[in-house]
Structure 1
Amino acid sequence: MKSKIPVEEGDYYLTPEGYRCFTEQYHLKRGYCCESGCRHCPYGFDKKINSVKKK
Structure 2
Amino acid sequence: MLFPKKRIELEEGDYYLTPEGYKCFTAQYHLKRGYCCESNCRHCPYGYNKKKNNSGTQPRE
TM-score, normalized by the shorter chain, greater than 0.5: yes
Residue aligning to 1:42: 45
How many percent identity over aligned positions? 74
- The normalised TM-score by structure 1 is 0.87
Q: Is the 8 A contact 2:36 2:55 kept in 1?
A: no
Q: Which runs of 5+ in 2 are unaligned?
A: 57-61
Distance, in Å, in 2 between the alignment partners of 1:50 and 1:13 is 26
Q: CA RMSD in A?
A: 1.4
Q: Which runs of 5+ in 1 are unaligned?
A: none
Distance, in Å, in 1 between the alignment partners of 2:5 and 2:16 is 23
Q: What pairs with 1:1-55 in structure 2 (closer than 5 Å)? A: 1-52=4-55
Moved over 3 A (4+): none
State the number of aligned residues: 53
